[in-house]
Structure 1
Amino acid sequence: MLKNNLLFFILIFGYLLASTLVLINANEEPEQQIQNQQEVVDGFFSRSGHTNNWAVLVCTSRFWFNYRHMANTLSMYRTVKRLGIPDSNIILMLADDVACNPRNVFPATVFNNAGRYLDLYGDNVEVDYRGYEVTVENFIRVLTGRVSPDTPRSKRLLSDDRSNILVYMTGHGGNEFLKFQDAEEISSFDLADAFEQMWEKRRYNEILFMIDTCQANTMYSQIYSPNILATGSSELGENSYSHHMDTDIGVAVIDRFTYYNLEFLEKIDMQSKSTLKDLFDSYDPNLIHSTPGVRSDLFRRPLDKVLVTDFFGNVQNVELTEQKYNLSFTTAITSTSQQDVLNSSSSNQSILKNLINKDNSTSARTMAISRKSPISKSKNYHLSHVDPQKRHHISFFSQLSSSFLTAIVLIIISSRYLEYRQGPLNQLLQVFQMEKLGGAGTYKRYK
């Protein structure tokens, strides 16, 4: 009998210990859940979240000897079009028209290579602002959307808070300024304030600002608005240099910084997985002859997660909606007025009325079912709105409490059973009392 009682207590203790260990191991699952959630969060912040792309490409220099600045801008124009941004989403500003300049020995063409492999001007260039329209005022108005009411849509930046915008500028500049047509200047403060207005008016999701000019990196030093990534061709005190010239044209045809950007961009397509980190890592000061800079402290995403096509391409994202649109024939019939039904022939009237009655009865049944079983009366409604982490802790503590309660109940039942079989509980304890024998170190049971 004593062995059976001891075995019974050992089984109860083992059950309690095993239940506790199982629940403790189960409690380790939230760590895996937290890790999975962290991966989801990282994936969220690695995505752009944009639904459309825009490009603002600006050449601020005029005169024939600045041929390369027009070629820089047209090269970027051709690249973003090739990667998917349509003309409707590109604002092209050219301060001069070198294609029609009398000095051009190849009329109506612009080349960025001495080999003249590709005519950048082509047959489908849409210049939105040309000549004296390219001013500091018009540039800022385009960015901020504060244009006159009679401005056509083709000259407006119709972006929103889901737009990724590439802003590319090239020309002659200096310490925190860029010249427009050798007549006026835009400062780094003007540019920073324009970007801030865009942010306040929810006109962009992210901006990539790229500038190719002397001391270009100083132009983004005053920017303070979020989600802006900036890169420039040269540091303070450095000049930006042309890459090479065409002896027939007689002037330099492209700048070094733009040339090596195009060299990288020509290797990718719309489905490319190349990132902006890959692009920036490709910059070699020995080849560019200046020190390119990158400013990313205002940008929320890591550069190795930002695709080049997030700014230079137009990869569309699809948004799904749970709203359903019934485009069936019965919907069109039910929208028909009663007068049209009465004016139809008798045979058509019967068909139309049957369809209308059938559709109305179906809608009535649907409404009745929805009233009969509201979501708020679901038996799991109180858990469906609890955070998963809290829900797991609730489940863990409830199971642990249940296990302890079960063990206590079993102990009480067993103790009552022993009292019934052997008398008071102290008699059971006396069974285990031992009386030590003198000097022998042995024990005998108390009878």
Structure 2
Amino acid sequence: MLFKIFCFVSACVCFQSALVDSRHTNNWAVLVDTSRFWFNYRHVANVLSIYRSVKRLGIPDSQIILMIADDMACNPRNPRPATVFNNANQNINVYGDDVEVDYRGYEVTVENFVRLLTGRLSEGTPKSKQLLTDEGSNILVYLTGHGGDGFLKFQDSEEVTSQELADAVEQMWQKRRYNEIFFIIDTCQAASMFDKFYSPNILSVASSLVGEDSLSHHVDPAIGVYIIDRYTYYALAFLERVTPNSTKTLSEFLAVCPKRVCISTVGVRKDLFSRDTRKVPITDFFGAVRHVEVIPEIVPVDYEHFPIEENPVIKDSSSIADRYLYLSEFPVTIK
């Protein structure tokens, strides 16, 4: 019993120490590819590359919402079935063996996207398709596809406007569904999508300004199409050098694609973001690793400094230690 209590208290202490520089308690990612058809292969590669990066840095699948409008891995034109590559040398299969797609094909709609953000999903929606965030959540939102001045196309059949996106985020704020949001938008005229934002604690970066196209990086001759966009290519080159313990900051990430390599002009909006990006670790959005040190020694605990609640499972116990509630992840078995 003492060992269980010690583990619980130690985890709490480590958890609190990890939050000294940030108020958030959990990280989520919403990664969306909105386009269809084989010639848009690069958009699937874009989103799967970001997906691979956030998983590598510690965000679990249970806290990642992955939306892919077209499945390039299973496309009949794919010369390498069940694979998606983001470079012509086929170094990394970003589709991999452990990709969990939450919204696929015709499930990727404007309605489902807005409902996901605002939490207005139909009753019975599986938890894997819900954004179960709270006021302590930092959310990375990555969008890629085809866009224009003030809109982002979904599957060449509908659009979400910048105003609709801004209003959805405001609902999230009013419902206390986030602490901070980092929007990354890789489309043509992408900066127009965050012009209407008016809610607090939002940082936004776009691959192109209004009136500019967001360009592709290179073609894989074996596939016959462009396989990644320029902005995401250079963003990934940066993220590949990031580790869970990295000291790299958001300001460094915001400068990953200067115009000499991106050709388009990267747009950044920081006026709604309360923190100095030079002091914000990139892992505040791209990672979620909490370090807990386990030691074999018994450490005395002064219970008088902790609030005590009656454990409904344990009856007639005179021990103070037995009266602490346990997290649901650590069930107590009484014989």
After superposition, the C-alpha distances for 1:34-55 in whole angstroms (9 at most, x for unaligned) are: xxxxxxxxxxx99320010000
Question: Partner letter of residue 30 of structure 2?
Answer: V
SS at match of 1:254: coil
Residues in 2 aligned to 1:174 and 1:46: alpha-carbon distance in whole angstroms: 41
> Which residues of 2 match residues 43-442 of structure 1 at below 5 A?
47-316=21-290, 322-324=306-308, 334-335=316-317
Deviation, 1:316, is 3.6
Paired with 1:326 and 1:198, the residues of 2 have a C-alpha distance of 35
Bigger relative CO (Cα 8 Å, ≥ 6 apart):
2
Amino acid at match of 1:70: V
C-alpha spacing 1:284/1:46, structure 2 compared with 1 (3 Å): farther
Query: Which has the higher Rg, Structure 1 or Structure 2?
Result: 1
Q: Which runs of 5+ in 1 are unaligned?
A: 1-44, 336-355, 361-447
- For 2:260, what is the secondary structure of its paired residue? helix
* Counterpart Cα distance in 1 of 2:202 and 2:291: 21
> Secondary structure at the residue paired with 1:242?
coil
Cα deviation, residue 283, structure 1: 2.5
The aligned runs of 1:8-47 (5 Å cut-off) are 47=21
CA deviation profile, 1:39-91 (whole Å, cap 9, x unmatched): xxxxxx99320010000000000000000000000000000000000000000
Structure-2 separation of matches of 1:272 and 1:212: 25
Residue matched to 2:326: none
Q: Name the SS of the counterpart of 2:261 in structure 1.
A: helix
Q: Contact 1:46–1:302 at 8 Å: present in 2 too?
A: no
TM-score when normalising by structure 2: 0.83
Displacement, 1:326?
9.2
Change (3 A) 1:46 1:184: farther
- Structure 2: where are the runs of 5+ without partners? 1-18, 293-304, 321-335
Q: CA 1:297/1:100 → structure 2, altered by over 3 Å: closer, same or farther?
A: same
Secondary structure of the residue that 2:235 maps to in structure 1?
A: helix
Question: Which amino acid in structure 1 is aligned with residue 66 of structure 2?
Answer: L
| Distance in 1, Cα, partners of 2:90 & 2:307 | 54
Q: Distance in 1 between matches of 2:208 and 2:20?
A: 29
Q: Which structure has greater helix proportion?
A: 1
Percent identity of paired positions between Structure 1 and Structure 2? 62
Amino acid at match of 1:334: D
Which digits, 9 at most, give the CA deviation of each residue in 1:10-39, with x for residues without a partner?
xxxxxxxxxxxxxxxxxxxxxxxxxxxxxx
Task: Extract structure 1 runs of 4+ deviating beyond 4 A.
Answer: 324-327
Q: Is the 8 A contact 1:256 1:288 kept in 2?
A: yes
Q: Is the 8 A contact 1:104 1:249 kept in 2?
A: yes
